[in-house]
Amino acid sequence: MTSKRVMRNLYSQLGLGLVLAGAALIPTSYQLLGSIPLTALGIALVILGAICLVLGRTRPRIPPEVSSLLMETGLENLASLLEELGLKSKGVYLPSSLTSGQPQALIPLHSNPQFPQLKQAMPKRLIVQYGSSPEDIGLLVTTVGSTTINMLEAKPGSSSEEIAAALTTILVGTLDIADGIKVHLADNKALVTISHPRLEYKNTWLYESLGSPLACVTASLVAEAMDKPVIIERDEQKRGENLIELHILE
Amino acid sequence: MKIYDKYILILASLLLATTVIVAALGEARLDLYFSIYVIEAMVLTELYVYLNPRAKRGLNRVNYGLFAGFLVIVAAKVVEILWGIKLL
């Protein structure tokens, strides 16, 4: 990262300003004014400035607008593909143990009320056969959730607390697109409440099949944590909350 | 970057409140102010467990620096108690 780019970052500018102000205040207040509280305030400014400088350096190198552009392009292409094929069946989120590498979503070409139990990992192809019936054919696609799992340092455990912690790390800490996450697990269901989501919900063909990007990330993470396929049953946004209900398949 | 803003605002409020309260108590030891600042910065960083790993690593580096400063103060106090030499 060049120094010019760092300086364009507001945190770095604030940090540099605070460090310089603190560095000027410390000798002035200690030697000239003889004031310990003002000297302490100078030290506090230097500490705060150093922290701002460090946070400024950890901001993503790609501007958020570029990331948004890339994500929307990818989603738009996937939406066109689904719309052209007339696929309306719900996507099944598979853990990495059932795919070749990262968690992916399988969109069956024919709506099947009973999703067959997968015994082996899917091949790394776009069109895959997932069951014994000739109709058990689907599209195996990479979603937003597939790549975000890599942001975690370790695979999350299967308890609701561990899933909530992993989701908070991704959605609140890393992506900064929500303020809080609650997870409730019961039988074969998982109810995830995301407070103050900053990605708007659109009622499109793609969202009907694969869910919103937030639901995508949630479903991929739950599938990976439980090591079982997952379907998004409900994905709605109301009063500053995003409610996502997942059905965990056997 | 809302989570960064929250972190900076909370830390700034804590440091300012500490300065005001300790000054109001008439405390004139600079090392006491510094020790409280270090503890506050370290505790707050630990509470923000959900910060992204890069930010967490960076903040930990700052905290190591602050902790080194704290150790210097402790060492100076030990020297002062044992040999009566005032270093700070």
ipTM (interface predicted TM): 0.91
Residue B74 domain-assigned?
yes
> B9 falls in which pLDDT band (50, 70, 90)?
very high
Among A36-40, A60-64, A85-89, B64-68, the minimum mean pLDDT is found in A60-64
From B86's Cα to the closest Cα of chain A, the distance in A is 18
The predicted pLDDT at position A39 comes to 93
Residue B11 lies in a domain: yes
B79, pLDDT greater than 60: yes
Higher pLDDT, A75 or B10: B10
CA dihedral defined by A204, A210, A215, A216, rounded to 10 degrees? -130
The answer to whether residue B20 sits within a structural domain is: yes
Give the model's pLDDT for residue B13: 96
For the segment A217-229, the average pLDDT, to the nearest whole number, is 92
Using a 10 angstrom Cβ sphere, with 0-12 exposed, 13-18 middle and 19 or more buried, the burial of residue B54 is middle
Residue among A40, A57, A151 minimizing CB distance to B19:
A40
Reply yes or no on whether the pLDDT at A36 is more than 70. yes
* Contact B30/A at CB under 8 A: yes
On average, the pLDDT of chain A sits at 86
Residue B69 lies in a domain: yes
Query: Across residues B71-81, what is the average pLDDT?
Result: 90
Q: For A60, which residue in chain B has the nearest alpha carbon? A: B54
- Total domains, chain B: 1
A19 falls in which pLDDT band (50, 70, 90)? very high
Give A39→chain B minimum CA distance, Å. Answer: 8
Q: Which residue of A has its CA nearest to B54?
A: A58
- Confidence check: pLDDT of B56 > 70: yes
Contact B66 A47 (CB under 8 A): yes
CB-based contact A41 B19, cutoff 8 Å = yes
Can you give the residue range of the structural domain that contains B42?
2-83
Q: At B32, is the pLDDT very low, low, confident or very high (cuts 50, 70, 90)?
A: very high
Asked whether residue B57 is domain-assigned, the answer is yes
Q: What is the pLDDT of residue A5?
A: 53
Residue A3 has pLDDT above 70, yes or no: no
Q: Is B88 a domain residue?
A: no
Give A1's pLDDT tier (boundaries 50, 70, 90): very low
